[in-house]
Chains A and B, each alone.
Chain A
Amino acid sequence: MVIVIGIKEVEEPKKQIPIVGSLKGILLVAKHLFEKPATVEYPETKPYIAERFKFRIFLSLDDCVGCTLCEQVCPNLTIHMQPVDRENPRNKRKIYPDVNFGTCTVCRNCEEICPTDAIYLTHEFETSRTRNSFTYSPEELQNPEDEVKR
């Protein structure tokens, strides 16, 4: 008994007329002329930012209780607690976190662990600066980006 397996012979593609392919390519390239550019002229027009995109850390000094949980949970020692002379009945030790954005990986552990939602991340992402330190003091963490010393 002979088993016939359905082997299909592979057909060679039809031989094209030489110049037609080139002309098709030219037309295909020429069609792109009428498309909108994909690039964004960045400083003038802002690129699209997704809703869940988070970058810069903000701190509400009134809500912070100085529990140091954010410092403990930070995976690469970006957050350190600093003493700040500020009257806050909920924060008896008068310590608040500062953030070094040079090492922050935006893991959002601090935001998750904060018991009073004092530390939170926002859409703001333009943190470039001329001074040689990316450390934000607790007072600076309170302000939006354009009020921070650069």
Chain B
Amino acid sequence: MNVLLRLANFFSPLTHYIAYILAYFFETLFMLIFITISLVAVIYIFRKYMARLQVRRGPNRVGKFGIFQMIADMMKLVQKESILPKKRDDLPYKVAPVVVMLGLFLGFALMPYGSFYYIGSLTVTHSSVSLVLLIAVIAIMPIGEILAGISSHNKYAMVGALRAVAKDVSFEVPMMITILALVMMASGQTSSPLNIDSIASSSRAFIAYGLVQPIGLGVFMISMIARASYSPFDLGESDSELVSGHSTEYTGMRFGIFYVGLFGSIFLGSMMVSTLYLGAYNGPFSGDVGFIYLVIKTWILVLISFTIWLSMPRIRIDKFVNFGWKYLLPASVINLILAGILTLGWSL
């Protein structure tokens, strides 16, 4: 039983088609609400966490403990005048934030969420190749950033976009190879190793793939940090050199969307790492509270990411690209070979 069937049952007094249309609609709506609340929570907790690490208090004026600070910020951003650069390339300039947000939401739609008490499985997409879809979808967000950088007609935005391209090119390849090793190992466990849901449920056999492939876990986590482009790898928007990279010329809610996209990609990346490598929703009583396990694992990874963000300096562009090609790529290939030996030799 999953959330779609529950909703269809709920609407079953209406005719079959209308019940399913409403069920799909409400399923999407619930997912969007979950994502929105998660993003607001990520931004709020980031600000609180950063404040505590810097021995401050963080937002504490709007509502109890400053809970409504994000809503107040959002209302401020909506009210602000949207200043458009004169020589902009109009269509890409306006489409870019939408593309970033689209990539983010599609990525969330493909995650397996586990099950939750009466409702059953909360997974939205049931596809046998959802891992391939996910890889395709998370490649959409950089396109939005590149569009924003090039269409702004601003040298800082342009350089930021070019750096973002360099970053993505050097870190996508090791990420793909680690995923390949993962799929290789999962193919011994399930008949459909390209389905994230079956990868997640098959990892129950030996607790988590991260224990068998520690190198893969490390490489994938670093790739996720690089993809979300925060502090050790924030070359795309290095705020002390380029003003703020691709989002330099954006104001108001359009800038807010890029800001949310950054935090959303941290959350999505943490969720991907916990799904693929840390055993997803598996745990005691995962038939009832699997969703909560996934959320807890994701939040621990988000906090680790924030700590890395707040403690590491930015690395230089050439060292950064070298790191991608000279260290991560060989490490991922070694991981692939080890995974092959484990899969064939010990038939794990």
Contact = CB atoms under 8 A, between A and B. Distances in A.
Nearest to B308: A26
A131 interface: no
A39 interface: yes
A149 B308 CA distance: 53
B55 interface: yes
A29 B311 contact: yes
B312 A26 contact: yes
A41 B58 CA distance: 11
Interface string B31-64: 0000000000000000001011111110010000
Interface in B47-89: 49, 51-57, 60
Contacts of A41: 57, 60
Contacts of A102: none
B62 to A, nearest CB: 14
B311 A39 contact: no
A39 B312 contact: no
Nearest to A25: B311
Interface residues of A, number: 14
Contact of A28 (B49, B55, B308, B311): B311
Q: What bracket does the count of chain B residues touching chain A fall in? A: 10 to 19
Interface string A69-103: 00000000000000000000000000000000000
A35 interface: yes
A41 B311 CA distance: 26
B322 interface: no
Contact of B57 (A28, A33, A39): A39
A38 B55 contact: yes
B53 A33 contact: yes
Nearest to B58: A37
A10 interface: no
Chain B at the A interface: mostly helix, strand, loop or mixed? Answer: helix
B312 A37 contact: no
Nearest to B53: A32
Contact of A39 (B49, B56, B307, B308): B56
A38 to B, nearest CB: 5
A25 B54 CA distance: 14
Nearest to B310: A29
Nearest to A18: B327
Nearest to B49: A33
A130 B307 CA distance: 44
B56 A29 contact: no
Contact of B55 (A22, A25, A30, A35): A35
Contacts of A32: 52-55
Interface in A5-63: 22, 25-26, 28-30, 32-33, 35-39, 41
Contacts of A36: 55
B311 A37 contact: no
Interface string B298-320: 00000000011011100000000
A36 B55 CA distance: 7
Contacts of A37: 51-52, 55-57
A29 B55 contact: no
B311 A26 contact: yes
B139 to A, nearest CB: 28
A38 B55 CA distance: 6
B60 A30 contact: no
A30 B309 CA distance: 11
B311 A30 contact: yes
B79 to A, nearest CB: 27
B61 to A, nearest CB: 9
Contact of A30 (B54, B56, B57, B307): B307
A62 to B, nearest CB: 45
A89 B53 CA distance: 64
Give the top 10 A-B pairs by smallest Cβ distance, nearest first.
A29-B311, A38-B55, A26-B311, A37-B57, A32-B53, A25-B311, A30-B307, A39-B57, A39-B56, A33-B52
5 contacts: A33-B49, A37-B52, A37-B56, A38-B55, A41-B57
Given A25-B312, A26-B312, A37-B57, 6 more contacts: A30-B307, A32-B52, A32-B53, A39-B56, A39-B57, A41-B60
